[in-house]
Amino acid sequence: MTDHCDPAPPARSLPLEGVRVVEFTHMVMGPTCGMVLADLGAEVIKVEPLGGDNTRRLLGSGAGFFPLFNRNKKSIALDLQTAGGREVAFRLVASADVVSENFKPGTMARLGLDYASLSKLNPRLVYVSHKGFLPGPYDHRTALDEVVQMMGGLAYMTGRPGDPLRAGSSVNDIMGGMFGAIGAMAALAAREKTGKGQEVQAALFENNVFLVAQHMMQFAVTGEPAAPMPDRISAWGIYDVFTVQDGAQVFLAVVSDTQWLLFCDAFGFADLKADGRLVTNNDRVRARGWLMPLLRERLAPREASALSAIFEAQGLPFAPITRPQDLFADVHLQQTGGLAPLTLGDGRVTSVPLLPLTLDGERPGVRLNPPALGEHSREVLANLGYGEGEVTRLLADGVVGAAHL
């Protein structure tokens, strides 16, 4: 087992320092919102049931959810079905700037933790709800990322005709959480002017519709339905995956007339450069039926690395076909600080991608490893004014859970 890794403290203050977020979230969408706010400096306190967020125990494609989306957070374990647990939650909310939740409609209201109730306790509170659908005819439905991808046009666009296919990542959950964070920051900015908080809602279905809006507008502009991506008419003459020497694959693109001339010169394709049928990008799009097979035949004997080197030297777009696990060794990510050390729950050290942005030239990093269940229960209770005897009683009564570290 690898030694525990203590994340390095940030070199300077972060923009959301001093903001306290209390999140009642699980799975991906809500935790993503909290992760973004936490990475930007907020103190994020994750309220978990005594048994813990179920995401901690997921297998397969869900095994990475908890360590990714719960870094930089503190964990307190509460039984919200008890009066004592709810009292702790109310004290937390009274001290909070933001509350974030992603439970089914009605769940938080039954606990007295909905916006209508909490805004009376804390009028300055920003309350972020992450849902399947914004209020309307569908809001009673149970939504998952795959559900909204299917009903929102994304699976249709990703798959082959007649074979809808979900995207290879939890795109709506993650992006929906990001919009929740954007809404929270907008509401905090508004509070600076008005002194009052407000409710923010983000939803999976509406997020998915935003993702496919470009194809909706394509239809609005052209009158022609957007074809699924594998069957689409590309906007660019050369914009595809090529299978080359030893079965290797590489994505190559030539998206302007200047790039076309560079491409032809770099590969010695004087005949194609002089072909009047290929002068403009639109000409090359119309010629794809015969041009692409010809280019595939000419490039097939070459090595993928050699092709990439030529494209890079000419400033032409290209990409290796990379598996997610290969990114841990990506030179660019390693040298630019795009990966940060992170300790998993079992003590192993790995690397994790950071937010894809810089602030004054620096990437917001990892300050806290994903917490053990109830790791910060005692700390949070003490911060709320509970004495040692009260903490001991809450633990003994099973109202609060604390990690044994």
The residues carrying an active-site annotation are 173
Handedness of CA 137, 139, 143, 149 (dihedral sign): positive
Max CA pair span of the chain? 87
Run of H or E residues at 44: strand 43-48
Vertex 372, ends 395 and 12: CA angle to 5°? 115
* Residue 147 CB neighbour total at 10 angstroms: 18
- Rg of the chain over Cα atoms, rounded to whole angstroms, equals 26
Residue type, 358: T
Q: Are 371 and 46 in contact (CB under 8 A)?
A: yes
Q: Are 6 and 347 in contact (CB under 8 A)?
A: no
Write out the E strands in 90-245.
98-101, 126-131, 199-203, 238-243
Q: Which of 18, 129, 34, 119 is nearest to 74 (CA)?
A: 34
* Residue 402 CB neighbour total at 10 angstroms: 21
| DSSP 3-state of 172 | helix
